[in-house]
Amino acid sequence: MGKYKINYETVNPCGSAGTGKYDFPIFIYPFKYSKVNNFVFNQNLVDAGDSGLDIGQEISSYVYSKYHNNCTPECIVPVSFISGENQDIILSNLNLIYTVGGSKSETKIYNITRRLVSISSGFQKLDLEDANFIAPFTAGQREFILELGNEEILRETINILSISRITGLEPTRVAALVPTTFTVHLSETKSNLTYIWEFGDRSVVEITDTNQVKHTYTDTGDYSVRITVRDSSGIQQKILQ
């Protein structure tokens, strides 16, 4: 049986063997993996790993859930390569061959990352009509806080103003070719109001500073009347009859 010896020294040693303190001339050299030349990523490779994964079905499901099978102008299918070690991986000369109504080839391979979506724009007004905001029932100054998820994006002091609410319009049945005075009723009378009348018969829009206006229908039929009441601050109410 062969024997071997390892030299050692005991001056300020940092190692140990048994109960003694020694330094040994032992070195460790790091190695790297050699490059992978031709790597074919297909169902045969997956089957060799016995994962039970169907690549074609996985890609089809992803394209459907992400793009609803509409790849106009394109669909991007992400593929992750995991090495298990912290190292740099360089992919080059990639070529994807697939079959969709015949054999096709694609060389557009991109390095992609996942990140949160952000939208940048200049000044614009956002229509929040469908956001289900609820305003206080009493007028006065309030603090308005707008949050997106758990992040506060706006905090402003706002004024809740009391406005006149449209409660009705009369008459609702009139005779054709007869000038008729229309009156809109409000929940409370206020000054400096502007009334905009649209009678639904393609006639000129009428604008008045009172709650009454005269209009003549030239033909019989059903007409939709739209009235907008606006105060000096621009706040308005509408009614459709």
Is residue 120 a part of any domain in this protein? no
Length of the chain: 241
Backbone angles phi, psi at 63, to 5 degrees: -60, -35
How do residues 59-73 score in pLDDT, each as one tens digit?
A: 889 989 989 988 888
The whole-angstrom separation of Cα 224 and Cα 187 is 22
Give the model confidence (pLDDT) of 116-135 as tens digits.
888 788 888 877 777 777 77
Position 121 in a domain: no
- 143 with 171, same domain: the answer is no
Residues 6 or more apart whose CB falls under 8 angstroms from that of 69 comprise 63
Residue ranges making up the domain that contains 11: 7-115
**Same domain assignment for residues 172 and 156:** no
In a domain, 97, yes or no: yes
Its pTM stands at: 0.40
pLDDT value at residue 236: 64
3-state helix/strand/coil string of 34-93? CCCCCCCCCHHHHHHCCCCCCHHHHHHHHHHHHHCCCCCCCCCCCCCCCCCCCCCCCCCC
Element (H, E) at 198: strand 194-198
pLDDT of 237: 63
pLDDT score of 44: 82
For residue 11, what pLDDT is reported? 86
* Per-residue pLDDT tens digits for 80-96: 877 777 777 777 778 88
104 and 179 both lie in a single domain: no
Within-domain flag for 69? yes
Residue 122, in any domain of the structure: no
Q: Is residue 224 part of a domain?
A: yes
CATH code for the domain in which residue 222 is found: 2.60.40.10
Each residue of 134-167: pLDDT tens digit? 777 788 888 988 887 788 888 999 888 777 788 8
Both 74 and 91 in one domain: the answer is yes
